[in-house]
Amino acid sequence: MIYSTASVNRADSYNWVVPAGATITNGQGTSIITVSYGPSFVGGSMTVTASEMLAEQVLFVQEMLLLMYSQPLQLL
Protein backbone atom coordinates (compact mmCIF):
# COMPACT_ATOMS: atom_id res chain seq x y z
CA MET A 1 0.00 0.00 0.00
CA ILE A 2 1.35 3.45 -0.90
CA TYR A 3 0.82 6.49 1.33
CA SER A 4 1.83 10.07 0.75
CA THR A 5 1.60 13.46 2.34
CA ALA A 6 1.76 16.84 0.66
CA SER A 7 5.27 18.18 0.26
CA VAL A 8 6.02 20.68 3.01
CA ASN A 9 7.95 23.83 2.11
CA ARG A 10 11.52 23.74 3.57
CA ALA A 11 11.16 20.14 4.79
CA ASP A 12 14.21 18.03 4.12
CA SER A 13 13.18 14.98 6.12
CA TYR A 14 9.96 13.03 6.68
CA ASN A 15 9.74 10.52 9.52
CA TRP A 16 6.96 7.95 9.25
CA VAL A 17 5.84 5.73 12.14
CA VAL A 18 3.53 2.80 11.44
CA PRO A 19 1.67 0.55 13.91
CA ALA A 20 2.64 -2.97 14.96
CA GLY A 21 2.27 -5.49 12.16
CA ALA A 22 2.99 -2.89 9.46
CA THR A 23 6.42 -2.43 7.86
CA ILE A 24 7.73 0.45 5.77
CA THR A 25 9.31 -1.27 2.77
CA ASN A 26 10.31 1.82 0.80
CA GLY A 27 10.50 5.60 1.11
CA GLN A 28 11.29 6.32 4.79
CA GLY A 29 12.63 9.89 4.89
CA THR A 30 10.53 10.99 1.91
CA SER A 31 6.95 12.22 1.48
CA ILE A 32 5.85 8.88 -0.08
CA ILE A 33 6.15 5.43 1.52
CA THR A 34 5.23 1.88 0.70
CA VAL A 35 3.87 -0.21 3.58
CA SER A 36 3.30 -3.95 3.80
CA TYR A 37 1.02 -5.57 6.36
CA GLY A 38 1.67 -8.81 8.19
CA PRO A 39 -0.86 -11.19 9.71
CA SER A 40 -0.51 -9.56 13.15
CA PHE A 41 -1.74 -6.15 11.92
CA VAL A 42 -5.04 -5.20 13.57
CA GLY A 43 -5.07 -1.42 13.01
CA GLY A 44 -3.63 1.64 14.67
CA SER A 45 -2.22 5.09 14.02
CA MET A 46 0.34 6.07 11.41
CA THR A 47 2.09 9.42 11.73
CA VAL A 48 4.37 11.46 9.52
CA THR A 49 6.48 14.34 10.76
CA ALA A 50 8.10 16.77 8.30
CA SER A 51 11.20 18.49 9.62
CA GLU A 52 13.83 20.98 8.59
CA MET A 53 16.97 19.40 10.01
CA LEU A 54 19.28 22.42 9.71
CA ALA A 55 16.98 24.57 11.83
CA GLU A 56 16.03 21.58 14.04
CA GLN A 57 12.41 22.55 13.49
CA VAL A 58 9.28 20.42 13.10
CA LEU A 59 7.23 21.90 10.27
CA PHE A 60 4.25 19.57 10.05
CA VAL A 61 2.71 16.55 11.79
CA GLN A 62 -0.06 14.41 10.32
CA GLU A 63 -1.74 11.41 11.92
CA MET A 64 -3.87 8.83 10.11
CA LEU A 65 -5.96 6.02 11.55
CA LEU A 66 -5.54 2.65 9.83
CA LEU A 67 -8.28 0.06 10.23
CA MET A 68 -8.24 -3.62 9.35
CA TYR A 69 -11.54 -5.24 8.38
CA SER A 70 -11.87 -8.97 8.85
CA GLN A 71 -14.49 -9.14 6.08
CA PRO A 72 -14.79 -7.17 2.87
CA LEU A 73 -17.08 -4.14 3.09
CA GLN A 74 -20.40 -4.61 1.39
CA LEU A 75 -21.59 -1.77 -0.79
CA LEU A 76 -25.33 -1.24 -0.98
Note the pLDDT tens digit of each residue in 45-59: 899 999 987 777 788
Asked if 14 contacts 29 with a C-beta cutoff of 8 angstroms, the reply is: yes
pLDDT at 29: 94
Residue 71 confidence (pLDDT) = 47
Residues 6+ apart with CB under 8 A from 72: none
Rounded CA gap, 4 and 16, in Å?
10
- Whether 69 shows a pLDDT value over 60: the answer reads no
Q: What percent of the chain has pLDDT over 70?
A: 88
Alpha carbons within 13 A on the beta-carbon side of 62: 14
Q: Is residue 76 in some structural domain?
A: no
Longest distance between any two alpha carbons in the chain, whole Å: 52
Q: Total domain count for the chain?
A: 1
Which residue segment(s) compose the domain that 26 sits in?
A: 2-67
Q: Is residue 21 in a domain?
A: yes
Render pLDDT for 9-67 as a digit per residue (tens, 0 to 9). 888 889 999 999 999 999 999 999 999 999 888 888 899 999 987 777 788 788 888 77
